[in-house]
Structure 1
């Protein structure tokens, strides 16, 4: 067996986990989800789900990872029997699919950094400019460049690659995001933007909850890197003296703070330029924000800084997703880190090529992995931990806590009933939405192109 690595420091683990959570989910996906789903109403439900579901499920993944010191597939093989041993494949599959298209979107950010430095953002031509960047051979090349960077970092290992890089990237993301949020505060129209973003209307929540709730849940899982095996894998490199609940709280808190900052940056800029927040969907930061930067003084430089931050955040997340599938090859197949990383990186690149050639495949991949697999993995693992290995789970979550009291039991019962029931409903709602996409938009695309 290949010698297994560990984190050199607690800070390295925290920053790596935060770096995984703080990625495109925060700065690309979060603002357009807020814009599409009713502004502050979405934010309110999202924050509620982070506390009520996100935090408990992080602990579920931490418990499994640290106890087994294995990747998701190996962890469930050690702890489970029968069909339960197969749950890990849901996580590995989700990570593989997500990174294949995630790299494509991350590649766009690299192009938008260059466009900003060259002063080439355009207000009227923003949609056409995005179309040129998002698809075609240029998009494939950018996809390849970004994936190569991910491969290079992960191939170096836990300490020399992932831990060293996130110690630079995560503080940079936080510092630049705070600076951009302060700048956005000074823009004309910021007050209206904050009202839209921070003042939820009860009528919106009650009338649109069936669409807001599953979207907010999917966003919470995506942004916390849940259901894709990252937290299981990262916790597998932890020592038994770590307080898992404390670390989970820090990770969830920092991730949510940066997602919140993304809204404080995006919406004042959009309102200052008179752009409707929900108009662009997934292309929001690349169309609407780029158009807004074109209208601002020094907009090219500001845009380059913003998209540079997005690129760094994307890289910090991508290396964590790659580590999930690489750790499977190392733990279960005995493959060396470098050949495993290169082979898997190339495979992900190939799977992602269709998404670089046509945007419909990003919707296809994202809907399947983010809306279905992530929460399905979270649901199955919560049932397994809560009902199949409860004693082991309480023992593991209690390690490193001086005055544990009834914390472990309370967490276990919260996972067993409220979290499991909520995830059953959310998986069903998201599956129904995805079925609608397959029979609607994707079916229309197939008819037009085949």
Structure 2
């Protein structure tokens, strides 16, 4: 049996969990889904999901992980019985799928960061007919994308192979503070831009009619973003909590992690949207997965100081992407270590290699990014969270409350309030969200993906 590691410090755990949460979900995905959702209208729904659904859900993952000291498969099997190992398998598969396309996107950020050293972004665009969309189209697929996908996965595998204390904990203690400092500096700079007020208005002044008219799309989008950015439903928080001691206050840790994560997401908006509007980009949601690359490159080519800001921005996101990728690979690595008794470096290399191969098709055509992202974000994440809510709220509530009380003391009515919040309102919201997510994904499969197949095969 391979001996299990633990965190050296509480700070290490907090920064690792925050690092997992503040990666591409916050800085790549958050701006474009916010733009697609109407700006402030989406932000409001997203924040409600984080507070009302995200916080109780992250506590559920914490108690399951710390109680069992196992990976998601072993943890759910220990608490719910042998049949629950398949549900635990969903968590492992979710992290597996997400990291496969996540690595490709992270590679784009590394490439754009390095491109900035060749000169200003305005000069760079001259080589692509002055069009940022053409530049993104050429850099996001093909040999360039394949190479940087490979590079990013090699780095990620290397960190995880080093272990909890010598690899993950040391890495996040450098990366997470760097991300925060860089974003604060960029937000202050964005405040000085001439049309920043228009960006703030779009981002911070919700139009409630947008919510009323688009709730069927806003609800699954906001829920998916909340779970994605908090690393919920993919086994990360179960795995990280499994390395914790019993004296830790899980409620306090949950508040700290969610506070940092949500603050960094919000801070990203304070950077991106003033930059967009100052550069004349008033439709931030256009472009889907490439929106942040296309729009920010156009902005950096237009505004004063854009060259330096571009280097900082793309470099910051590359760092954030690595902190999240580490956590995703740790989930599947921990599963192989715990359940199969494989040495850490072999587990990290083997599972990382398979994930890498799954991501290769994304470097060929972005339709595979939509295929993997829609499945993981709209279905797997929410399904995993739903099943965990059923386990904690309806099958093992007494065990869950007792575990939560370790490091806190008697919760009294607050413990029961948490359980009932999980049992009824959160469960209902997740059921509705899962239904909408499945319906939307079926529409994608029978629409865009079917069209692609008929055209290319």
Which ranges in structure 2 are unaligned for 5 or more consecutive residues?
Answer: none
Find the partner of 2:417 among 400, 410, 419.
Answer: 410
CA distance in 2, matches of 1:279, 1:437: 18
Residue in 2 that maps onto 1:243: 249
Find 2:378's aligned residue among 366, 371, 380: 371
Alignment-derived partner of residue 331 in structure 1: 338
User: C-alpha separation between the residues in 2 aligned to 1:295 and 1:390?
Assistant: 56
Q: Tell me by how many angstroms 1:86 deviates.
A: 1.6
User: Higher mean Cα deviation, 296-305 or 186-195?
Assistant: 296-305
Secondary structure of 2:121's partner? coil
Q: Is the contact made by 1:118 and 1:300 (CA closer than 8 Å) also made in structure 2?
A: no
Tell me how far apart the structure 2 counterparts of residues 63 and 86 of structure 1 sit (CA, whole Å): 19
Alpha-carbon distance, 1:365 to partner:
0.3
CA distance in 2, matches of 1:329, 1:40: 42
For 1:132-171, list aligned pairs within 5 A. Answer: 132-171=138-177
**Distance in structure 1 (CA, Å) of the matches to 2:278 and 2:45:** 26
Say which SS state the counterpart of residue 228 (structure 2) adopts: helix
- Once the 2 structures are TM-superposed, how far is the Cα of residue 431 of structure 1 from its aligned partner? 0.6
Q: 1:372, CA displacement in angstroms?
A: 0.5
Distance in 2, Cα, partners of 1:307 & 1:50 = 26
The answer as to 2:362 corresponding to 1:355 is: yes
Question: Structure 1 stretches (4+) deviating beyond 4 angstroms?
Answer: none
1:298 positional shift: 2.6
Corresponding residue number in structure 1 for 2:443: 436
- In structure 1, what is the equivalent of residue 22 of structure 2? 22
The one of 171, 179, 198 aligned to 2:185: 179
Please give the residue correspondences for 1:23-38 in structure 2 after superposition, counting only pairs within 5 Å. 23-38=23-38
Go from structure 1 to structure 2 and tell me whether the alpha carbon gap of 1:80 and 1:402 turns closer, same or farther (over 3 Å shift). closer
Separation (CA, whole Å) in 2 of partners of 1:82 and 1:419 = 25
Return the TM-score normalized by structure 1. 0.99
1:189-246 alpha-carbon deviations (Å, 9 max, x no partner): 1111111000101111111111111100000000000000000000000000011111
Which residue of structure 2 aligns with residue 397 of structure 1?
A: 404
Among 212, 215, 219, the alignment partner of 2:225 is: 219
CA deviation vs aligned residue, 1:271-317 (integer Å, no higher than 9, x gap):
01101212222211110111110112231221011000000000000
Question: Tell me, what secondary structure is at the counterpart of 2:304?
Answer: coil
Alpha-carbon separation, structure 1, partners of 2:88 and 2:81:
12
Q: Distance in 1 between matches of 2:188 and 2:410?
A: 40
Partner of 1:200: 206
Using the TM superposition, give the Cα deviation of residue 404 of structure 1 relative to its aligned residue in structure 2, in angstroms.
Answer: 2.3
Correspondence for 1:446 among 431, 434, 453:
453
Q: TM-score, normalised by structure 2?
A: 0.97
Q: What is the aligned-residue RMSD (CA, Å)?
A: 0.9
Q: Distance in 2 between matches of 1:82 and 1:314?
A: 35
- d(CA) in 2 for partners of 1:150, 1:288: 28
CA distance in 2 between counterparts of 1:66 and 1:262 reads: 32
Q: Distance in 2 between matches of 1:309 and 1:301?
A: 12
Post-superposition Cα deviations, 1:333-365, rounded to whole Å, max 9, x if no partner, equal: 000000110111111111100001110000000
Rounded to whole Å, the distance in 2 between the matches of 1:279 and 1:4 is 46
Pairwise CA distance, 1:402: 3.5
Q: Report the CA distance between 1:84 and its aligned residue.
A: 2.4
Residue 111 of structure 2 corresponds to 111
Contact 1:329/1:340 (<8 A) preserved: yes
Say whether the 8 Å CA contact 1:101–1:362 is kept in structure 2.
Answer: yes
Q: Say which SS state the counterpart of residue 6 (structure 1) adopts.
A: coil
Aligned length: 450
Equivalent residue number for residue 315 of structure 1: 322
Residue 8 of structure 1, CA deviation: 0.2
For 1:321-341, what per-residue CA distance to the aligned partner results, in whole angstroms no more than 9, with x for missing partners? Answer: 000000000000000000110
Partner of 1:344: 351
CA offsets 1:407-444 (integer angstroms, 9 cap, x no match): 21110111000110110000000110011000000000
Question: Aligned partners of 1:85 and 1:312: how far apart in 2?
Answer: 33
Larger deviation: 117-126 or 127-136?
117-126
Match of 1:274 among 277, 280, 296: 280
Give the match's secondary structure for 2:324. Answer: helix
CA distance in 2, matches of 1:151, 1:380: 29
In the TM superposition, what is the alpha-carbon distance from 1:83 to its structure 2 partner?
A: 2.9
Query: 8 Å contact 1:117–1:301 — kept in the other structure?
Result: no
Q: CA deviation at 1:120?
A: 4.9
Task: Describe the SS at the equivalent of 1:12.
Answer: helix
The 8 Å contact of residues 120 and 306 in structure 2, kept in 1 or not, is answered as no
- Cα displacement (A) at 1:390: 1.0
User: Which residue number in structure 2 is paired with residue 71 of structure 1?
Assistant: 71
DSSP 3-state at the match of 1:440: helix
